Amino acid sequence: MEFSTLIQTIANSIVQGSVYSTVAVGLALGFGVMKMANFAHGEFYMLGAYVVFLLYTTLGAPFPLAVLAAFPIVAAVGMLTERLIFRPTQGNVLAGFMATAGLAFVLQVLVGQAWGVGLMRAIATPYMGALQVGGAFIGWQRLLIVPAAIAMVAALWYFLYNVKIGKALRACAQDPEVAALQGISINKVTLLAMAIAGGYAGIAGALMAPIQPVTPYMGHDIIITAFIIVIVGGMESIAGAVLAAFILGFIHTFVTTLFDGVVATMAGVALMALILIVKPEGLLGKVKA
Amino acid sequence: MVLLETKELSKYFGGLRALRDLSIEVEAGEIRGVIGPNGAGKTTLFNVISGVYKPSSGSVYFKNERVSAMSPSEIAARGAVRTFQRDAVIHDFSVLRNVAVARHLHTGQTLLKTLFGNIGRLQRQDEEKAEEILEFVGLYDLRHELAANLAHGFQRVLGIAIALATEPVLLMLDEPVAGMNPTETAHMTGVIDKLHKERGMTIMLVEHDMKTVMGICEKITVIDFGEKLAEGPPKEIKNDAKVVEAYLGAEDFVAQR
Amino acid sequence: MGMKLTGFAIVAVIACALPYMVELYQVEVLIILMFNLILAQSYRLVNTTGDWSLSHIVTMGVGAYSSALITKMLGWPFWLSLPLSGCVAGAIGFMIVFPLLRTIGFGFFIGSFALGEFVRLIWVKFHYPFGGPRGLINIPPASIGPFDISDMIVYYFFCLGIAVLSIWIMYRIDRSHIGDTFKAIHTDPTLCETVGIRVPRYRAMAFVIGAFFAGIAGALMAHHQGAIDPHSFEATLMVYLIIFVVVGGVETFWGPILGVIVMTVVFELSRPLEEWRPLIAGAILIFFLVVMPGGLEILVPKAMAILRKVSAIDRLLPKAPV
């Protein structure tokens, strides 16, 4: 591999890993806190992209505002999902998971009917130009995802470890019974977890809106990768999700460059299978007794 | 002939030591009681012998064959079967069906026969044998009852019937009369006694109920903190100073003296 | 007993008369119904041990690709490739389930997805022999010896026969000791091990038998469509299969059949709303999982009770005067 290609691939991998991080941490949070596996997480991502399409492209709002707006909007969808799907199926991970698969269909059709199906919305890139490093070109639009991802993960970390409700969330993840005894409302915590998960997925999609084609089905590819990341990292571990996100970012980008996208997906899926067989709790997950 | 032997059996759970260098020999045809204070390691011992746990060190021999690393189903196939303290029955099945499905090791219903043969006759065979067993343990009249609807005492007896369906050589009973009223206890004890006297079954039983243990066991092994404290016939154990000390404050034990 | 026989007789008559009572394009729907019946029933077979998988559609695809390649490239006849494809699907099913036997529940579910998807991506990646993303075309039409059975109505009856045979075999298994073993494993695997049941072996057995029949359905489909591609066996289709069994229920043997029939009717009725169909499907799935997780089959005893009441009332009414 040529040196400039290597730099390019490394740079792309870092960006890809950052994108994956923003999508995966929300999923890991939902699963860690209340054993909720959200198949519609990819559709939350898609909704975030559509928020940018509506606010930035259609209404002309500034891009950063549009991105930030994705948080509360998709967080609300997340909370609805918790209330209507996860709460009634509490305790049954598979049932909740399958129901969110149904939700994914619902959201895809609703968005498709509202704003057109199959038409790939090209959203004008707000930040043109690229950074040049060692012969590689990295568009600013893509590069800004790296600090955004760092900020998002850092904010989540701070929240979970230094804010009272955040600590309550962690307590629930570790031992829901003890947490309940300490007066923590499990329902409120679960609602909050899904709000954050949704909001984060929304921001991820919003950031990616200028970079990838915006269609009602754009969640489909990301959800598979998101689950691979969460399984590989350890289903309840945020740190594991970030680590796995970058591992997968590198694997995916390098394999695509060296072979093609299909082989890259195969590599990701094979890694997931390998972890499930050899170390089912994931890289940074805890073994369940 | 020594049927079951554990040689310096140890089991650790992380830093917790559940069994330590436990060596026991059970002769064929014996009825052996295993007692000890709560948390002494009695159920862990059963779990290791029956293959649910693997020993941390030491070994288990059954019929002179080393079974330490085998799965529970392999050990059961060799004739060593245990029952559970909890309600271990298939709740959605009838009593009869529970015992019939436990005929697994002796049923003629292989996959080939199921696909291509006439399994009606083989099914009937399994059910007839199951009915025999239910007759023996006194549950025949309840055979069409749903297992979930049975009283706790009867569910435990069903547990024994299920174990008997495998035609075991060694039966390990985990607290067979726990949570039973006097009538149920008497019934269960009667069944155990019948098994020992009429069928010559080798039986190991873990129990807290001293009356039962002292009543039917020929020899008793006392365990405390995972180690063997004492071993001998009931009379000796009752008067053993170490045993009394281990149970100090345990009313049921003191009351038996 | 008499009621059961009457019931079956009525169903048989309807099944035979149906292709003549509907439009030709709807015979197509009936043929696909046959595939789905085999698919849903075989999925339930796997579920009886408590394992839910996401790879069942892929094993159907294995059957489809196998039969297509056996007839197209090896030139072997359809009546041979059909059962062979089932066997290949069973073998691949074994390769998928074997590494997953250490997990259950969600881990098994998502692991089966990973391995199934890996197989599917092999079809996408390799143009030879699988045809890559475009798949395979010119699959020989179904024929038995000199008889071409690819005519719509003839093929319907052929598939009906295979479906009945498959379901009958699965019924025999369900009713046998092996079926009871599967159900016991679902309820209490530790107890099962204690009575000598090797739980991993039986979980694998259920999975492989299920995969075999999924493969049969796939082979039937391949020769009907004449062309197959990897997109036909995507995760999206898997969700539809899950909808069939969730709507019908899996507790009783007949639940999945009920689910397939009901959902086929729903999809047919919603044909004019074609773009909304995934939403309808998704909403139905959510509804059943959240509100009625037992599926429609739990309503059947209630319906039967009502039916009995109605017929009892009939007997109570005074006879009409002559």
Residue A33: inside a domain: yes
**C121 in contact with A, Cβ within 8 Å:** yes
Residue of B53, B85, B90 for testing the chain C interface, max C β-carbons within 10 Å: B90
**SS3 sequence of C232-263:** HHCHHHHHHHHHHHHHHCCCCCCHHHHHHHHH
d(CA A130, CA A141): 8
Contact between residue B5 and residue B60 where contact means Cβ atoms under 8 Å apart? yes
Same domain, C274 and C134: no
Question: Residue A131: beta bridge partners?
Answer: A138
Residue by residue, DSSP assigns B52-106 as SS--SEEEEEETTEE-TT--HHHHHHTTEEE--SS--S-TTSBHHHHHHHGGGGG
Q: Which domains does chain B have, with CATH numbers?
A: 2-89+166-256 (3.40.50.300), 90-149 (no CATH)
Contacts of A265 in chain C (CB under 8 A): 117, 121
Partners for C (CB, 8 Å, 3+ pairs)? Answer: A, B
Residue A229: inside a domain: no
Q: What are phi and psi of C104, to 5 degrees?
A: -135, 180
Percent of chain C scored above 70 by pLDDT? 95
Distance from CA of B245 to the nearest CA of C (A): 36
Query: For B114, which of C176, C194, C195 is closest by C-beta distance?
Result: C176
Residue C321: inside a domain: no
Same domain, C153 and C60: yes
Contacts of A224 in chain C (CB under 8 A): 117, 235
d(CA A120, CA A122): 6
Contacts of B89 in chain C (CB under 8 A): 188, 191
Q: How many domains, chain C?
A: 2
Residue A225: inside a domain: no
Same domain, C246 and C228: no
Contact between residue A126 and residue A210 where contact means Cβ atoms under 8 Å apart? yes
Range of the domain at A61: 17-216
Closest by Cα among C217, C214, C216 to C206: C214
Contacts of C103 in chain A (CB under 8 A): 276, 280
Mean pLDDT, contiguous 10-residue spans, chain C (322 residues): 76 85 85 96 96 96 96 92 96 95 88 93 93 91 82 90 95 95 95 95 97 97 94 92 93 93 92 90 93 82 76 59 49
- pLDDT for A138 equals 81
- pLDDT for C223 equals 94
Same domain, C201 and C300: no
Tokens 């041990």 locate to C49
Torsion of CA C144, C145, C147, C153, to 10 degrees: 0
C111 with A84: Cβ contact below 8 A: no
Same domain, C103 and C156: yes
Within 8 A by CB and 6+ apart from C18, the residues are: C30
Same domain, C51 and C192: yes
What tens digit of pLDDT does each residue of C35-81 get?
Answer: 999 999 999 999 999 999 999 999 999 999 999 999 999 999 999 99
Residue C5: inside a domain: no
C198 with B73: Cβ contact below 8 A: yes
d(CA C55, CA C112): 5
Residue C295: inside a domain: yes
Classify residue A214 as exposed, middle or buried by CB count within 10 Å of its CB (0-12, 13-18, 19+): buried
Q: Which two tokens stand for residue B183?
A: 């009538």
Flag residues of chain A having pLDDT under 70.
117-126, 134, 287-289
Residue A221: inside a domain: no
Range of the domain at C250: 239-316
Residue A64: inside a domain: yes
Distance from CA of C102 to the nearest CA of B (A): 14
List the helix and strand counts (H, then E) for chain C.
14, 2
User: With a CB-CB cutoff of 8 Å, which residues 225-244 of chain C face chain A?
Assistant: 235, 239, 242-243
Residue C47: inside a domain: yes
Q: Which two tokens stand for residue C28?
A: 């197509």
**B76 in contact with C, Cβ within 8 Å:** yes
Residue C154: inside a domain: yes
- Residue B257's pLDDT band (cuts 50, 70, 90): very low
- ∠ CA(A127), CA(A128), CA(A134), 5° rounding? 115
State the sign of the Cα–Cα–Cα–Cα dihedral B151, B157, B160, B162: negative
Same domain, C60 and C125: yes
What tens digit of pLDDT does each residue of B48-95 get?
Answer: 999 999 999 999 999 999 999 899 999 999 999 999 988 899 999 999
- pLDDT for A169 equals 85
d(CA C224, CA C311): 44
Residue C14: inside a domain: no
User: With a CB-CB cutoff of 8 Å, which residues 23-52 of chain C face chain A?
Assistant: 52
- pLDDT for C322 equals 45
Tokens 């074994």 locate to C94
B72 with C205: Cβ contact below 8 A: no
- pLDDT for C76 equals 92
Contacts of A105 in chain C (CB under 8 A): 239, 278-279, 281-282, 285
Within 8 A by CB and 6+ apart from B88, the residues are: B159, B162, C188, C190, C191, C194
A266 with C121: Cβ contact below 8 A: yes
What is the pTM (predicted TM-score) of this model?
0.90
- pLDDT for A289 equals 39
Same domain, C180 and C243: no
Distance from CA of C63 to the nearest CA of B (A): 21
C102 with A280: Cβ contact below 8 A: yes
Query: For C110, which of A88, A99, A227 is closest by C-beta distance?
Result: A227
Same domain, C275 and C207: no
Residue A151: inside a domain: yes
Residue C322: inside a domain: no
Residue C6: inside a domain: no
